[in-house]
Amino acid sequence: MLAERFAIDERRTIDPEPMGACRDGQPNLIGFARSLSRDQQVFTAGDSADFRYKVISGGVCAVHSLADGRRQIIEFNLSSDVFGVEVDAAHRAAAEAICDTVIISARRPSLAEHQPDGLLRHALRELQRCQDHLLTVGRRTAIERVAVFLIDQAEQLGPHDAVTLPMSRQDIADYLGLTIETVSRALTQLQARGLVRIDSRQVRLLSPAALTQLCE
């Protein structure tokens, strides 16, 4: 609670070092860099959506939560991902760093109004991911959820058969709609079956085919 408040206030003190745009798939952004430590918030639900952001290093997650503290992580945004795009004037989810992270922020209209198609693609792709994730959370077992998660991460982050996960077990649990204990057990079980090798946050996929098959 206190930590959150602090983070919100902190948001106003933006590191004034200007930074150029990057040249990768995602929309370009020119703005100010800001570094965050683990769990620090970029914004909360309800904050006005004047800015859009891009991850430079580390990662950020979008979180929806219920009054009693149950959390659902909607998506992870890793290096070069753009986040914080909204239809309305306010953010609907909180965004917080999953590890030490650097982002750049830009005032709303400076991004991609000159390439509206890019924004549309961005939104539709995010929609795709959300829909796929809905199937996972709604209909897959714990083991299956963890398996798809590992495959996704490996695809996105690594040389396809090895990843270093940037997020904690708790974050994985909140993303997959499970508890931290169930995630842990699923990981050990996947390892016991010889499908992966886990060393804390280092994951090696020993049998990507079998892993994929697990997810149908």
Partner DNA sequence: CGCGACCTTGAGATGGCTCAATACCAGTGG
Partner DNA sequence: CCACTGGTATTGAGCCATCTCAAGGTCGCG
Size of site (CB under 8 A) for a second copy: 39
Separation of CA 60 from chain center? 5
3 binds, among DNA, a second copy, none (CB under 5 to 8 A by kind): none
Burial class (CB in 10 A: 0-12, 13-18, 19+), 89: exposed
Residues from 16 through 75 that contact DNA (CB under 7 A) = 38
Near a second copy by CB under 8 A: residue from 87, 159, 199, 200: 87
Rule CB under 7 A: say whether 7 interacts with DNA. Answer: no
Does 184 interact with DNA (rule: CB under 7 A)?
Answer: yes
Q: Which stretch binds a second copy (CB under 8 A): 58-66, 102-110, 154-162, 203-211?
A: 58-66
DSSP state of 175: H
- 67 sits near a second copy (criterion: CB under 8 A): yes
Residue placing its CB nearer to a second copy in the complex, 19 or 176: 176
Q: In sequence order, which residues have a C-beta less than 8 Å from that of residue 213 and are 6 or more positions away?
A: none
| Residue 3 contacts a second copy per CB under 8 A | no
DSSP state of 25: S
Residues 108-145 as b/e (b if ≥16 CB within 10 A, e otherwise) read eeebbeeeeebbeebeeebeeeeeebeebeeebebbbb
Among 65, 72, 170, 207, binds DNA (CB under 7 A): 170
Q: Is residue 86 a contact point for a second copy (CB under 8 A)?
A: yes
Query: For the sheet containing 202-205, what is the strand order?
Result: 162-164, 202-205, 196-199
Partners of 71 in the β-ladder = 65
Q: How many residues does the chain have?
A: 216
Selected from 24, 201, 202, 213, the binder of DNA by CB under 7 A is 201
CB of 99 closer than 8 Å to CB of 76: no
Residues that bind DNA (CB under 7 A): 38, 141-143, 168-170, 177-185, 187-188, 198, 200-201
Residues that bind a second copy (CB under 8 A): 62, 64-68, 70-72, 74, 85-87, 92-93, 116-117, 119-121, 123-128, 130-135, 137-140, 176-177, 216
